[in-house]
């Protein structure tokens, strides 16, 4: 594991993470195992599981499950972890040279793997990064495929920032604290992420949304 000096920039740190994980610009494998990236990021920062858990408010067991791909972290969970590192969600995706603008072709979209193949579980949703390569970005756009809620409990998440969701197809059930609603194709919602929230497909079939997240930084 490479040592980190105080003079080392965030770009250098992310480059080391990409190198260790085998990620490189224009790599043929466009799927990113975000749990692996979080673990490498934590280790490069010299943080223990318990220390990261303290920073995020999550349990050490939960952080371990995320790192080992035993559970699916929501985008809100990733925002909390990114804030604990004082970085962005894109730091866990990376793999592309960053510049003042970014064009992401359909075939080059980065799919974020949320459940590892060794677990074989069904992911609650799968998302593709649309803003990879834009340096210093304040927004994180994703194409998100939502599945129906498993069980009766919708666990709400809250974090700093704002979120905008636009329904491209299907129907989406949205929970904002005690408020709930169903959005159809063409509907959109914009809310403060500090409100405890949760979204999922309102039907058995999959729903597709465009999600834009601002972390509040």
The CATH number covering residue 84 comes to: 1.10.260.40
Q: How many structural domains are present in the chain?
A: 1
Residue 186 domain flag? no
85-to-10, 39, 106, 113, 206 alpha-carbon distances in Å:
11, 12, 30, 21, 33
- As a whole number of angstroms, the distance between CA 114 and CA 27 comes to 19
Could you please report the per-residue DSSP string of 74-97?
-HHHHHHHHHHTTS-GGGGT--S-
Q: Which two tokens stand for residue 2?
A: 């490479």
Residue 117 domain flag? no
Residue 24 domain flag? yes
Residue 41 domain flag? yes
Contacts of 89 (CB under 8 A, 6+ apart): 75, 78, 79, 82, 140, 213, 215
Q: Which two tokens stand for residue 216?
A: 């509040």
| Tens-level pLDDT at each residue, the chain (217 residues) | 444 333 334 444 444 444 444 333 333 345 667 888 899 989 998 999 999 999 998 999 989 988 887 776 778 888 889 888 888 787 777 656 678 888 888 887 777 654 444 444 445 667 888 887 888 888 889 999 998 887 667 778 888 899 999 999 999 999 999 999 999 999 999 999 999 999 999 999 999 999 999 987 6
3-state DSSP assignment of residue 205: coil
- As a whole number of angstroms, the distance between CA 33 and CA 69 comes to 8
Are 126 and 114 in contact by the 8 Å Cβ rule? The answer is: yes
3-state DSSP assignment of residue 64: helix
Residue 153 domain flag? no
Residue 136 domain flag? no
pLDDT at 31: 61
Residue 3 domain flag? no
Residue 42 domain flag? yes
Domain that holds residue 64: 8-99
Q: Mind listing the pLDDT tens digit for each residue in 11-69? A: 444 444 444 443 333 333 456 678 888 999 899 989 999 999 999 989 999 899 888 87
pLDDT at 119: 42
pLDDT at 19: 44
The position carrying tokens 């799919």 is 111
Are 162 and 216 in contact by the 8 Å Cβ rule? The answer is: yes
pLDDT at 9: 43
- As a whole number of angstroms, the distance between CA 14 and CA 70 comes to 24
């Amino acid at each position: 594991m490479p040592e980190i000096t105080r003079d080392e920039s965030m770009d250098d740190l992310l480059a080391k993470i990409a190198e260790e994980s085998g990620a490189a610009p224009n790599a043929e494998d466009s799927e990113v195992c975000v749990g692996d990236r979080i673990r490498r990021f934590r280790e490069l920062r010299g943080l223990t599981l318990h220390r990261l858990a303290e920073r995020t408010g999550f349990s050490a067991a939960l952080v371990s499950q995320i790192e080992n791909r035993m559970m699916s972290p929501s985008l809100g969970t990733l925002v909390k972890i990114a804030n604990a590192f004082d970085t962005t969600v894109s730091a866990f995706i990376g793999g592309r040279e960053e510049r003042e603008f970014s064009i992401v072709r359909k075939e080059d979209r980065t799919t974020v793997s949320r459940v590892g193949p060794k677990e074989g579980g069904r992911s609650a949703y799968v998302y593709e990064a649309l803003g990879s390569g834009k340096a210093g970005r304040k927004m994180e756009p994703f194409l998100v495929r939502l599945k129906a809620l498993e069980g009766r409990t919708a666990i709400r998440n809250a974090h700093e920032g704002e979120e905008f969701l636009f329904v491209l197809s299907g129907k989406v059930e949205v929970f904002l604290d005690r408020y709930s609603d169903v959005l159809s194709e063409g509907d959109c919602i914009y809310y403060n992420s500090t409100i405890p929230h949760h979204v999922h497909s309102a039907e058995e079939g999959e729903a597709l949304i465009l999600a834009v997240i601002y972390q509040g930084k």
